[in-house]
Amino acid sequence: MDQVWVIIERLFESFLVNCKLFALTLLLSLPLGLIIAFGSMSRFSPLRWLVRTFVWVIRGTPLMLQLIVIFYGPGLLEMAFSWPNGTSGRFVAAVVAFVINYACYFSEIYRGGIESIPRGQYEAGLVLGMTKSQIFFKVTLLQVVKCILPPVGNEVITLVKDTSLARIISNKEIIMMAGEYSSKGLIWPLFATGIYFLIFVGVLTIILDRLEKRLGYFRV
């Protein structure tokens, strides 16, 4: 029984790596995605096509491949830049890869939400003497949030599960830890990882549902 609790404790410690990766990715990719969305909607054609091409490449290639390229690429290309040695370097590389990947997905969700708002609301704001920033933050922003919350919520839940891909560059997250025990003949730690993910996703689902209800008074 003592061994069981030791394994559960180690699985929990490994799951904290997943949680840290999840939190940092969400914290950085949400605002970066908005910047990318503005770039993809820019009236400056070269910038718009450059951003859209970048988003197309990121969305069109596997996250696992991006992790490998970002972590091993500098060394293979003999670049002056290199990731820090040890666990910290692998984790930072994973964060960078996840942030870039999810920012591109979020940018398309943002763009769709912004473009779904009727043009008449923008024109009405101009007639009332409001500036472009006032129209965006006081008229359209909450309506955009209402539109994009369900797809953003789906991406957030997907992110929880995608954090397990960090093991491809030897980040010792929960599934990698469970895999080490399974190689020793213990299969139950692999099933235990599902409980960790289910609880985390369950909590997120409740939070997202409550946010949708609070924004329910918008009818876009």
Domain around 148: 2-214
Our count of domains for the chain comes to: 1
Q: Specify if 68 maps to a domain.
A: yes
Distance of CA 215 to the CA centre of its chain: 22
pTM recorded for the entire structure: 0.89
The mean pLDDT value for 1-7 works out to 80
Q: Specify if 16 maps to a domain.
A: yes
Q: Specify if 41 maps to a domain.
A: yes
Going by pLDDT thresholds of 50, 70 and 90, the confidence category of residue 1 is: low
CB 172 within 8 A of CB 14: yes
- Residue 219, pLDDT > 60, answer no
**pLDDT tens for residues 55-83?**
999 999 999 999 999 999 888 887 777 88
CATH of the domain at 186: 1.10.3720.10
Q: Specify if 219 maps to a domain.
A: no
DSSP 70: H
Name which residue leads in pLDDT, 199 or 122. Answer: 199
**CB-based contacts of 140, cutoff 8 Å, min separation 6:** 114, 117, 121, 122
**CB-based contacts of 20, cutoff 8 Å, min separation 6:** 91
- Residue 7, pLDDT > 80, answer yes
CA-closest candidate to residue 95, choices 201, 203, 169: 169
Quick check: helix, strand or coil at residue 59? Answer: helix
Q: What is the pLDDT of residue 19?
A: 96
CA-closest candidate to residue 39, choices 58, 53, 18, 57: 53
Q: Specify if 220 maps to a domain.
A: no
Q: Specify if 160 maps to a domain.
A: yes
Name which residue leads in pLDDT, 155 or 138. Answer: 155
Distance of CA 76 to the CA centre of its chain: 27
Name which residue leads in pLDDT, 215 or 185. Answer: 185
Q: Specify if 48 maps to a domain.
A: yes
Both tokens assigned to 195: 């409980």
**pLDDT tens for residues 78-87?**
777 788 888 8
Q: Specify if 131 maps to a domain.
A: yes
